[in-house]
Amino acid sequence: MAELALLRLLKDGPEYGLRILDGLREAAGLKIAEGTLYPLLYRLEKGGFIAAEWRILDNASHPRKYYSLTEPGRAELETQLNDWLAISEKLQAFLNRGDQ
């Protein structure tokens, strides 16, 4: 679930680690630790689903590593999203069975 949420977050544009962490916690409602995020970012980068680049911005005190979605990452997002929606629909039907 964290991987799907991370890929979806990066669909909106490149972000750096702590902003990603904040987005996953606040917007997605995930209780994710910093120690969980960075290995996930590394694995997605190694798999070619995201790309990373160092940026130095005028208002930043130090360089930040920004992550962005690649074309294979977009395809993976679509696959995971479709899988999630199918599973959610089946689970919802199961949980509501007999309630009519």
- Taking the domains of the chain in order of start, what are their residue ranges? 2-95
Total-model pTM: 0.87
How far is it, in rounded angstroms, from Cα 74 to Cα 100?
Answer: 39
Give the per-residue pLDDT at 58: 74
**Residues with Cβ within 8 Å of residue 10, at least 6 apart in sequence:** 20, 50, 67, 68, 69, 73
Task: Give the count of beta carbons closer than 10 Å to the beta carbon of residue 85.
Answer: 10
Q: Tell me: the pLDDT tens digits for 4-56?
A: 999 999 999 999 999 999 999 999 999 999 999 999 999 999 999 999 999 88
**Residues with Cβ within 8 Å of residue 84, at least 6 apart in sequence:** 1, 4
Q: Which of the listed CATH numbers 1.10.3720.10, 3.40.50.620, 2.102.10.10, 1.10.10.10 matches domain 2-95?
A: 1.10.10.10
Q: How confident is the model at residue 98 (pLDDT cuts 50, 70, 90)?
A: confident
- What is the residue type of 9? L
